[in-house]
Amino acid sequence: MRVFLTVLIGLALLQGAYGVSASKTSDAKASTSKTSSKKSNAKKPEDKIEVTAKTFTSINNVTVVKGDVFIKKGKDTLNADLVKIYTDSKRRPLRYEAFGNVKFHTFTEDGRELRGSSKKLIYNVVKKEYSLIDDAFVKEVGKPNVVRGDLIVLDSNGEYANVVGNAKQPAHVTFLLDDKDSTK
């Protein structure tokens, strides 16, 4: 049976999701009304994380999601056989580790749309950095820009990309040069 889980960042991913007491809820409402003149902390659609999988287990600050895993946050998606989600003490995601048949679709902060795959992917939320490991592939949608390697490390705001090959197959990069500065 597939399990569908919708989580707002700041709420518990799995544990304690129903542990909010009435007094805490009342206090939160009172606190909200007292601070209504302050800047709104309303959650944006990109703050919502949706996780779909066959099973999930959560122990302390590590959640393991298995079987046809699909994760969506805003416009970004991640598919894999297994995903481990590491969170901080407030249950906010710090790192995702995806294993087996990993595929992702993301939009960088500079507006580029990327699709990729690998056997393992690590996304460091704090650094906003993707590490694709083993048979890694990334393509910029709508452009011929392609990166292949044994290890690809990408910064989500487009500041850097590191590519490493292996003994059997070297790293491969194909990209279109911008001719903004050309004097044609």
pLDDT tops 50 at residue 50: yes
pTM of the complete model: 0.69
DSSP designation for 11: B
For residues 117-122, average pLDDT: 96
Structure confidence by residue, pLDDT tens digits, 51-67: 999 999 999 999 999 99
pLDDT tops 80 at residue 176: no
pLDDT tops 60 at residue 178: yes
Burial class (CB in 10 A: 0-12, 13-18, 19+), 29: exposed
Beta strand residue intervals within 32-128, DSSP E: 48-53, 55-59, 62-73, 76-87, 93-107, 113-124
For residues 130-159, average pLDDT: 88
Higher pLDDT, 82 or 47: 82
Amino acid at 62: V
Q: Please state which of the ranges 77-86, 125-134, 144-153, 163-172 shows the lowest mean pLDDT.
A: 163-172
pLDDT tops 50 at residue 116: yes
- Tell me the Ramachandran region of residue 133: left when phi exceeds 0, alpha when psi lies from -120 to 50, beta otherwise: beta
With tokens 């910064």, the residue in question is 155
| 56/59 Cα distance (integer angstroms) | 10
Q: Please state which of the ranges 33-37, 87-91, 128-132, 141-145 shows the lowest mean pLDDT.
A: 33-37
| 31/39 Cα distance (integer angstroms) | 13
- pLDDT interval class at 38 (50, 70, 90): very low
| 24/92 Cα distance (integer angstroms) | 19
**Beta-strand pair 62-73/55-59:** antiparallel
| 82/120 Cα distance (integer angstroms) | 10
